[in-house]
Structure 1
């Protein structure tokens, strides 16, 4: 079956997780007539247009289209229609992207992700897990994320912290970054990090579920889930133990709330080899070029108008997947949309 030539509105897709959250997802999604939401305490992630499964839990995480097919199967059946020729020449039938809504109902554990080379060697995967966060909401006092060690550390010190499960010391070793809606943070593979309670993000990442968790005891219950079966001696080889001072850290962060143009590039330049994201607030009909894309409507109401003249109403809480075959279309209305895309097929 060929790819559809129209955007497709998607329901919520919330596989069970080990940490609490989901209230902000439920609140956002409740405004959308096209979404059914699971608001249980352990539904903190909504995997949008996902062709990725949770580690060791196939087929959990996959998106099912309204016609009953898995999105992954649909893309594999017609990669050119879904992704475009240039993308397929570079990435094959992989979308090269996973988008999530992530609502931290509690602080996440200190963890990190492997890069492409480590993932190829140890997980037989083309992709590691570089990611980025677009903060769309916060609650509580001092919403905070944590990224990078404040001082350079040796592997033995970190291994001792992990063996002792010294959570306060691990968290205290990281830079604490205050965030508000409109802030974005790029998280390179290897960088230790955590998201604080009350932070609600749209997360872009490479399409894997490889999380190596230093602080496993109070979250995962089993040490093997922390190192994904590799053993920490091996897993820690993927960890960035270097120091991230304020100047270096600033290269990962953008503050975009005050930018009022119709299109705002949201992410730090170093994210471009991995994914793209922009915030769309049309002041007049805004033309969008053909591309596989995931759209998250964060506020307002608007319209997607295809070249054929077909019109799709969009509103707060909607999530859409756009096949390349949909061609060029226009967005207009009093609406804010976060458009997430794979990396450009031509670097």
Structure 2
């Protein structure tokens, strides 16, 4: 088999997650749903779930964990021998996420909060590309508060688990396939049922939950990441997110031919994503580590070393040393990369 520098990634769905999902991943990949509580597919992951134990780490077809493969050849995979690359970190967590129930209202700490409170050196900003919507669903996301929320009110919602009050104070936004959202650290959010997303995140699994009752494996202490209530809730943005800011969180860049940079410039320090739409000629993408999600169409992804056949539901990892990628005209892809200085 020719070494093209492109590696196909099979499903990598941690079990016993705290919410129901995964049917959209099964539809997308054309495979059976393993069980009702595998809503996330970690793609090209060097990041563990918060509980650790190696759960979430990608294993390559040759049997090695991606983390150890990168550590052995950081320049080949990432184009750099920086300390984080040499330790096997790729600077990005990409997932497929599929909700079969509404995902609980939660937020993620910033880098500064994580460092200050002993949670590590990385917080979690994330962005979403809506890949699919289940038939018959009324898809929506919850993003930010629509009004200022006082600290005492936020604490009361948490203590009483007053989900109706917290949800009613949030922006509820209808969505369709192809929509995008940028979610800065601190902004509270939730995801309605029936959505399948490509999700780019900083490489950590830190969440502070406003809502936790009724979700298996979650309790008050885990919702707060083991911190005192007021300390944990201080990581959540209580200020209103005005409509102009919501619009900015949904911005994309002007397309250049078939290629469009997804997400606003505020995402650039964390990661990058491109949508490659069908067209009349090959699209050429720069060299670099990438996770490639094939949304639609059939054709080849070619490098100077060979080609791989691509079809809907397939996911690939491109090594840096594969060089430029040539994308067949019929293909519709989402290409996810770490920030250029992240590795």
TM-score range, shorter chain: over 0.9
Partners of 1:81 and 1:323 within 8 A in 2: yes
Query: What secondary structure is seen at the aligned counterpart in 2 of 1:8?
Result: strand
Structure 2 residue aligned with 1:132: 127
Query: What secondary structure is seen at the aligned counterpart in 2 of 1:216?
Result: coil
Query: What secondary structure is seen at the aligned counterpart in 1 of 2:156?
Result: helix
Cα distance in 1, alignment partners of residues 60 and 85 from structure 2: 22
Counting only pairs closer than 5 Å after superposition, residues 100-139 of structure 1 correspond to structure 2 as 100-139=95-134
Partners of 1:9 and 1:318 within 8 A in 2: yes
Structure 2 residue aligned with 1:83: 78
Instruction: Give the one of 281, 305, 315 matched to 1:284.
Output: 281
Query: What secondary structure is seen at the aligned counterpart in 1 of 2:144?
Result: strand
Cα distance in 1, alignment partners of residues 118 and 86 from structure 2: 19
- The answer to whether 1:69 aligns with 2:64 is yes
Cα distance in 2, alignment partners of residues 238 and 91 from structure 1: 29
Cα distance in 1, alignment partners of residues 259 and 7 from structure 2: 22
Cα distance in 2, alignment partners of residues 38 and 123 from structure 1: 37
Partners of 2:24 and 2:195 within 8 A in 1: no
**Cα deviations across residues 277-335 of structure 1 (Å, max 9, x unaligned)?**
11112531222211110000011112111113x11111111111111111123111411
Q: Which runs of 5+ in 2 are unaligned?
A: none
Partners of 1:301 and 1:333 within 8 A in 2: no
Under a length normalisation based on structure 1, what TM-score does the superposition of the two structures give? 0.91
Partners of 2:145 and 2:240 within 8 A in 1: yes
- After superposition, the Cα gap between the structure-2 partners of 1:193 and 1:300, relative to the gap in structure 1 and judged at 3 Å, is same
- The answer to whether 1:26 aligns with 2:26 is yes
Cα distance in 1, alignment partners of residues 325 and 161 from structure 2: 51
- After superposition, the Cα gap between the structure-2 partners of 1:292 and 1:123, relative to the gap in structure 1 and judged at 3 Å, is farther
Query: What secondary structure is seen at the aligned counterpart in 1 of 2:231?
Result: helix
**Cα deviations across residues 213-252 of structure 1 (Å, max 9, x unaligned)?**
1101122441111011113221112111111121121110
Deviation at 1:116, TM superposition (A): 0.6
Query: What secondary structure is seen at the aligned counterpart in 2 of 1:96?
Result: coil
Structure 2 residue aligned with 1:275: 271
Partners of 1:298 and 1:317 within 8 A in 2: yes
- The answer to whether 1:157 aligns with 2:153 is yes
- The answer to whether 1:166 aligns with 2:162 is yes
Deviation at 1:261, TM superposition (A): 4.3
Partners of 2:23 and 2:33 within 8 A in 1: no
Cα distance in 1, alignment partners of residues 85 and 75 from structure 2: 11
Deviation at 1:167, TM superposition (A): 0.8
Under a length normalisation based on structure 2, what TM-score does the superposition of the two structures give? 0.92
Question: Aligned pairs, how many?
Answer: 335
Counting only pairs closer than 5 Å after superposition, residues 255-266 of structure 1 correspond to structure 2 as 261-266=257-262
Cα distance in 2, alignment partners of residues 305 and 255 from structure 1: 27
Query: What secondary structure is seen at the aligned counterpart in 2 of 1:117?
Result: helix
Structure 1 residue aligned with 2:44: 49
Query: What secondary structure is seen at the aligned counterpart in 1 of 2:326?
Result: strand
Query: What secondary structure is seen at the aligned counterpart in 1 of 2:104?
Result: coil
- The answer to whether 1:322 aligns with 2:323 is no
Q: Which runs of 5+ in 1 are unaligned?
A: 31-35
- The answer to whether 1:147 aligns with 2:147 is no
Deviation at 1:206, TM superposition (A): 0.3
- The answer to whether 1:98 aligns with 2:97 is no
Deviation at 1:142, TM superposition (A): 2.7
Partners of 1:45 and 1:102 within 8 A in 2: yes
**Cα deviations across residues 50-108 of structure 1 (Å, max 9, x unaligned)?**
111111132111110000011111112222221112x8378764211001001110000
Deviation at 1:168, TM superposition (A): 0.6
After superposition, the CA RMSD in angstroms is 2.1
- After superposition, the Cα gap between the structure-2 partners of 1:69 and 1:89, relative to the gap in structure 1 and judged at 3 Å, is closer
Query: What secondary structure is seen at the aligned counterpart in 1 of 2:330?
Result: strand
- The answer to whether 1:223 aligns with 2:216 is no
Structure 2 residue aligned with 1:33: none
Structure 1 residue aligned with 2:295: 298
